[in-house]
Structure 1
Amino acid sequence: MSKIETGANTIDGFKVLDCVHSGAMARIYRVEYDQQLSHGKPDPGFPMVMKIPRMRHEDGAENLISFEIEQQILPSLSGPYVPKFVAAGDLDQLPYLVMEYVVGSTLEELMEGGLQDDPGNIATMGAAMAKAVHSLHQQNVCHLDLKPANVLFRKVGDQTRLDQAVVFDFGLSCHAHYPDLMAEEMRKAVGSPAWISPEQIVGVRGDPRSDVFSIGVMLYQLCTGRLPFGAPSTQGGLRQRLWMDPIPPRRRNPQTPEWMQEIILKCLEPVADRRYPSAAHLAFDLSNPDQIPITERGQQTHTTPFWTHFKRWLHAAGMHYQPSPLPQQQIQAAPIVMVAIPAHGADDATLYSLREGVQRSLGIRPGARLAVVTVVGSSLIGNTHAGKTEANFHRQHLSQLRQWAAPLSLGPNQISFHVLESNDIARALLTYATGNHVSLIVMGAATRGLQMQKLVATIPIKVAMYAPCSVMLVKQQLPFEHLADYEPPKPNLDDTDMDVFKYW
């Protein structure tokens, strides 16, 4: 399609305004409803753009194929991490896509304006990208073309929000429930060479860990100003990432924290099984850098030895990746499980029962990560009893959480500990679960103040009512041999309401 004249064209009731982007595969125009020709369609409540593919004689077939893929996938997506779909044109008559015009800055523009050299900002941006990508994976879509030009950070007022990422351009994406047109039509690796994952190079599409790899490339760029594998233009150059490690970020930029290098190099593992099992796990680490165990990977500044690369090359020569299961199934196999431990008043029976509930949950989810959480009242922290500082108060509670978890015998990469401050325990737990894409909440069922529960919702009930995921309420129990010696606490009706709100 030749370039249309802006301001003078109306397409299917949309008045075409100025061109906001002209790329190799499509042009994007701002549009609005033409009041005379739109047949009374209501204002969607947000600005709109129209994407029109280039279809000149010299353009390849992949332009139309990728446009057809995006036209197929975008209407199926929802949530704040993608542009809202409005309308689409007939591919045989006039192909176009109308969608929300998200105001903001792309990661590419932010890089051109100067690197975000603050590790905190980089972590915030990375976590936002990972959460956006995880939302796609939950909808059985793998993006497969993540790069700085395809990630945008929303502008709110005059400020670009680094914690609000939007991904777009789904022309190379794969939806598990739709035919993979790109795989059917193109017999070579498709993707942007600098960001493409190793498995895509050998023809495997649909693995959500491919998107984790691409986020790792962008984090590497933000920390070093360089691409980890350059921008290869040949198949041989692309295949090198099947066995080669990049130069450690700390060697190129000594200011890169060890925890950041640990995250980046885990994302860039050549074999997908050694990366983060889901984008939610990546977002979790980026949001909780103090919980990341530093290994040799995070500390190294030397390059990988030649013989290590040579052995990997021999292995990669005959490498055949297996097709991945549905993205949703794959991320469900590696959930984030959260257990809420009462900060005060929990007896041995409660703590034992919570531990048993967690063990049962992790037993059927071997790839799960456990977040051990407690909520301490802000007013209580502010009151430094016996000369305790706020830091000491936190350390005390973290120590108690670690003691509780010790019998679980989980590795450092499988468990983390968090002390939250809030006077509204239920809200704090719900906010944490939502922000960290928790798949299951394990917490104790309220056993005190049973009479009052008929009138007032307890914390577990509140959490169960509004949780973004499944909730397991665990009742108190002790090992069989201790039952004879155990006397359950007797409810004190005089302080029932205090028990309900303080101790669940």
Structure 2
Amino acid sequence: MSRTELAVGQEIDGFTLQERLCVGGMASIWAVSHLQHRQALVMKLPKLRGEDDPTAIVGFEVEQMILPRLRGPHVPQVFASGDFTEQPYLVMERIAGESLRARLDQLPLPVDEVVSLGARIADALHDLHRQHVIHLDLKPSNILFRDDGTAVLVDFGLAHHDRLPDLLDEEFRLPLGTAPYISPEQVLYERSEPRSDLFALGVTLYYLLTGERPFGFPGSQAGLRQRLWRDPLPPVCLRADCPPWLQEVILRCLAVDPAARFASAGELALILRNPEQLPLSALATKRSVDSRWQRLRRWFRAMGRETQPSGSAAAQLARAPIVMAAVDLTGGEDTLAEALRRSTALLMSVAGEARLACVSVLKTQRIGLDFNEDAQGRNLHVKRLAALKHWAAALSLPAERITFHVLAAPDPASALIEFATQNQVDHLILGARDSGILRRHLGSVSARVVAEAQCSVTVVRRPER
């Protein structure tokens, strides 16, 4: 394995080094070109000096193992890699946008921007967890954005893959991560908890909103261990215009117990886009850190504590899917709505920590003006929302497990598919009306949803009379 100094113009397996873009603690990033690749590329090269942290080499092996297996817009595409017999490297697409770190000079950011960033990052995490990977080093410098605003996660040197060997866990017995963002369970050497990434996202949101890190920057293992009993100062104490619901979201993400956080990154993304659906607790109005007595009790519980493995990212997502019920509440569909409700109740009874999104579409005209009121002067959106909640009342789900959404669109099928895609729905259940000649000719809403939705779909039919 060679360890020559890198220089502009040097070639590595046909890739020409053009410009060194950045140097990190474990690797350097270079812009590179290749005759067979027209797109902009970067090459990541690990530091190989003997005095460097050995986790850099193992971490690079981990990234080489995990990153090429990932797909989708939330990770960079990998084009080539080199092993340690010659020169280890990874060549991947160059993301056009900046990293979130570039915004840190403008902190604190506007509330709306913090919420938008949080939802997009949560989307990326949920997609990652669906591919059996936990990032475990989420921080602003590891979050990039494409030109369309899509969040892209980079640097998988500390990541954990459910279905691959965990080299870091096998070779090192120390907390791995970046001190301000590391979760309590990581302090206890647990690397298979996907909600560790939600903790890091909570730290990031707190930092973007207030300009302060909730736990500072501890420089020792003893300092990190305080995370097992210390709680952060509520964001509203540092940012007076912080909405109560956003404080609730951030403090839930920062809970010591992973079970007290959101069940999945998908659920968090859904709430960030629909904050009015979040039931508020005492966290929303909290104005100080917990009392000394409360912290002392947590300290006693933390003494000698070892974490309980949660299983895997896949296991947690299986326990906490997002279910979408598309409910047709137009006239004459009472029997079908009842059949859909029974099927939804059955599905939710066996779906563990699932969250249900109840969705109904108000069909609008493609051309011309739509009326917002019925003949009695009642707002159509409010009327449909009330009907949707009435439909769901018999399900008897707790408020934290159900949300309601009324969409206005000229094409109900497209609206349902777009909602399911945007909110990363795992399972969609909807009713199918009776067939007719015109419906068979033009195609039904249910048929289009089944054909085009990116999730599993259950179609419920009206029972035989």
Verify same fold: TM over 0.5: yes
Q: 2:226 pairs with 224, 235, 240, which one?
A: 240
Runs of 4+ with >6 A deviation: 387-390
Kept in 2: contact 1:373–1:417 (CA 8 A): yes
Q: 2:450 pairs with 464, 469, 473, which one?
A: 464
**Which residue type is aligned with residue 435 of structure 1?**
Q
**Which residue type is aligned with residue 78 of structure 1?**
R
**Which residue type is aligned with residue 275 of structure 2?**
P
* Correspondences of 1:10-21 after superposition (within 5 Å): 10-21=11-22
**Which residue type is aligned with residue 74 of structure 2?**
Y
- Report the counterpart of residue 248 of structure 2 in structure 1: 262
- Is 1:104 the equivalent of 2:97? yes
- Is 1:185 the equivalent of 2:185? no
User: What is the CA distance between 1:251 and its match in structure 2?
Assistant: 1.1
- Is 1:72 the equivalent of 2:65? yes
Q: 1:216 pairs with 179, 191, 202, which one?
A: 202
Partners in 2 of 1:84 and 1:187 — Cα distance?
Answer: 31
Kept in 2: contact 1:374–1:419 (CA 8 A): yes
Pair 385,289 (structure 1): closer, same or farther in 2 beyond 3 Å? closer
Partners in 2 of 1:381 and 1:297 — Cα distance?
Answer: 43
- Is 1:4 the equivalent of 2:6? yes
**Which residue type is aligned with residue 121 of structure 2?**
M
User: What is the CA distance between 1:309 and its match in structure 2?
Assistant: 1.1
Which secondary structure does the structure 1 equivalent of 2:179 belong to? coil
Aligned-CA RMSD value: 1.7
Kept in 1: contact 2:137–2:159 (CA 8 A): yes
Pair 184,87 (structure 1): closer, same or farther in 2 beyond 3 Å? same
Partners in 2 of 1:254 and 1:386 — Cα distance?
Answer: 41
Q: 2:381 pairs with 387, 390, 394, which one?
A: 394
Partners in 1 of 2:115 and 2:26 — Cα distance?
Answer: 32
Partners in 1 of 2:300 and 2:373 — Cα distance?
Answer: 63
- Report the counterpart of residue 320 of structure 2 in structure 1: 334
User: What is the CA distance between 1:13 and its match in structure 2?
Assistant: 0.7
- Structure 2 unaligned segments of length 5 or more: list them: none
- Report the counterpart of residue 155 of structure 1 in structure 2: 147
Which secondary structure does the structure 2 equivalent of 1:52 belong to? strand
- Report the counterpart of residue 418 of structure 2 in structure 1: 431
Kept in 2: contact 1:259–1:294 (CA 8 A): yes
**Which residue type is aligned with residue 441 of structure 2?**
L
Q: Deviations over 1:470-498 (max 9, x none)?
A: 111112249xxxxxxxxx6xxxxxxxxxx
- Report the counterpart of residue 198 of structure 1 in structure 2: 184
User: What is the CA distance between 1:2 and its match in structure 2?
Assistant: 4.8
Partners in 1 of 2:315 and 2:369 — Cα distance?
Answer: 41
**Which residue type is aligned with residue 259 of structure 2?**
D
- Is 1:442 the equivalent of 2:429? yes
- Is 1:142 the equivalent of 2:144? no
**Which residue type is aligned with residue 6 of structure 1?**
V
Q: Give the total of aligned pairs.
A: 461
Kept in 2: contact 1:343–1:376 (CA 8 A): no
Deviates more, 1:374-383 or 1:332-341: 374-383
Kept in 2: contact 1:2–1:54 (CA 8 A): no
- Report the counterpart of residue 51 of structure 1 in structure 2: 44
Partners in 2 of 1:284 and 1:22 — Cα distance?
Answer: 36
- Report the counterpart of residue 317 of structure 1 in structure 2: 303
Partners in 2 of 1:477 and 1:46 — Cα distance?
Answer: 55
* Correspondences of 1:348-363 after superposition (within 5 Å): 348-363=334-349
Which secondary structure does the structure 2 equivalent of 1:276 belong to? coil
- Report the counterpart of residue 501 of structure 1 in structure 2: none
Q: 1:92 pairs with 85, 89, 94, which one?
A: 85
Partners in 2 of 1:29 and 1:399 — Cα distance?
Answer: 56
- Report the counterpart of residue 417 of structure 1 in structure 2: 404
- Report the counterpart of residue 451 of structure 1 in structure 2: 437
Q: Deviations over 1:51-107 (max 9, x none)?
A: 111112321211111111111111111100011001111212111111111111111
Deviates more, 1:55-64 or 1:68-77: 55-64
Kept in 2: contact 1:2–1:56 (CA 8 A): no
Which secondary structure does the structure 2 equivalent of 1:97 belong to? strand
* Correspondences of 1:167-186 after superposition (within 5 Å): 167-186=153-172
Kept in 1: contact 2:179–2:219 (CA 8 A): yes
**Which residue type is aligned with residue 7 of structure 2?**
E
User: What is the CA distance between 1:389 and its match in structure 2?
Assistant: 7.7
Pair 178,119 (structure 1): closer, same or farther in 2 beyond 3 Å? same
Which secondary structure does the structure 2 equivalent of 1:194 belong to? helix
Partners in 1 of 2:369 and 2:417 — Cα distance?
Answer: 21
Partners in 2 of 1:294 and 1:395 — Cα distance?
Answer: 22
User: What is the CA distance between 1:388 and its match in structure 2?
Assistant: 7.5
Deviates more, 1:217-226 or 1:310-319: 310-319
Deviates more, 1:56-65 or 1:138-147: 56-65
TM-score (norm 1): 0.88
